[in-house]
Amino acid sequence: MNDSPGWASPGSAPSDGENSGTPPTPEPSDRARASSKWSQDQPPAAQWSPPGAGLTPPAPQPGRGGPQHGPGGWGQVPGQPPGGNWNQNYGRPPAAKPGVIPLRPLGVGEILDGAVSTTRAHWRTVLGLTLAVAVISQIAQILAVRFILPPPASIDPNATGAEAVNQAFDALQSSLLDFTPSLIIGQFATLFTTAVLTIVVSRSVLGRPVSLGDAWTEARPRLLSLFGLLALLFGMFCAIFAVGILPGVLLGGGGGASLVVLGGLAASVVTLWLYVRFSLASPALMLERQSIVQSMRRSAKLVNGSWWRIFGISLLTSILMAIVSMIIMIPFAAIAMAVDSSDFHGILSGTTPEFGWSYLIISGIGAVIGSAITYPIAAGVSVLLYIDQRIRREALDLELARAAGVPGYQTPGS
């Protein structure tokens, strides 16, 4: 179903008011002229066949011009293989599919399948990139945990009153501090993989091969702009949260805590809305070579009217990726706990454990494997969502078909 005026199917549609679907009734004089000419132009009965019967039409007689037709008297249509049967497609030609997706508006399953198909088609390039990035980022996180972060705050389980509240705030501050290195390093890893995998997915849509060197050469000039885009969005989201919780923090006490919760919830809603609104800015920046501000405006324009759809697909992808990561990482975490039993006893006793090298290394291996699998899927879904929105709004499928060299889509004279 076409949901925007920018969509156009191959071929030209009648103008407004030009054809209402019912042919005009001919005047009596027209009927007379038509009946007088009908017997002269009628083809011989023995040579007429219904569509798809496979009979060769009669050769054009001298003086009777007209288009040359293929087998069965039907011409070739864009995206339709020679000898294709229209009846199997309910009167519509099948969409061209030069690469991992059909060139038409996509469903949720087709977007996910396209991301997985890209990983399978270019597994050497994709896995080589994601494994290298995941290993480097995981080593950096382990070193940050061991040598940069302060020891976790101690908690007295018997504390009550104001002391318990202070300990809760200290634990929250320690948790946020522990999360900061992983967040920053993860953003850099996402930046690099997104930049390169965007090029890989765009080539896969056209059915073209791509090596890691080619993808890196094409993505490298846009890395600084992509970093600026991610930094701007991250700063914007942090500022929104700061504005949301600042009144409660200044007020303090029980009322201030309630205000912090309400402000945090309101800031979360605004941040989520902006996150989805600008979720297509990264592919726009990489593939359209636009500036940071222009790519954000481009994303807002493409998302407008489809916010809930993009939010649903992004949420579904995040849930699936979280499930895959948990399935991979839980066994490694269990093995790490068994190897470093002191951490396990610390968790059971209610105290914050100090993880040793064995735990960090074993759990880090599981994180590397999980990231190598989830990074390309998440990046592929983001790029395919961008392409799908442009197909729905701007008929990008026609341009992609021409770029892929699909027969029937070339411009005249090309």
Rounded Cα gap, residues 414 and 412, in angstroms = 6
> Coil, strand or helix: which one is 69?
coil
**In sequence order, what DSSP letters do the residues of 88-131 get, joined into one string?**
GGTTSPPPP-SSSS-SS---HHHHHHHHHHHHHHTHHHHHHHHH
| Backbone angles phi and psi of 302, in degrees to 5 | -70, -35
Determine the 3-state secondary structure of 24 from DSSP: coil
d(CA 275, CA 272): 5
Label residues 79-94 b or e (16+ Cβ within 10 Å = b). Answer: bbeeebeeeeeeeebe
The phi and psi torsions of 364 (rounded to 5 degrees) equal -65, -35
Of 312, 297, 397, the residue nearest 2 (C-alpha): 397
Contact assessment for residue 298 and residue 229, using Cβ atoms and an 8 Å cutoff:
no
Digitized pLDDT (tens) for each residue of the chain, 414 residues in all: 433 333 333 333 333 333 444 444 444 444 444 344 444 444 444 333 333 444 444 444 444 444 444 443 344 444 444 444 444 444 445 788 999 999 999 999 999 999 999 999 999 999 889 998 889 988 888 888 777 766 665 665 565 656 666 666 666 666 667 677 777 888 788 888 888 999 999 999 999 988 888 999 999 999 999 999 989 998 999 999 999 988 887 887 667 778 888 998 999 999 999 999 999 999 999 999 889 999 999 999 999 999 999 999 999 999 999 999 999 989 998 888 888 765 555 554 545 555 677 888 888 899 899 988 898 999 999 999 999 999 999 999 999 999 888 887 776 655
Q: Look-up: residue for tokens 């949260």? A: 241
Considering only CA atoms, which of 246, 244, 257, 245 is closest in space to residue 162?
257
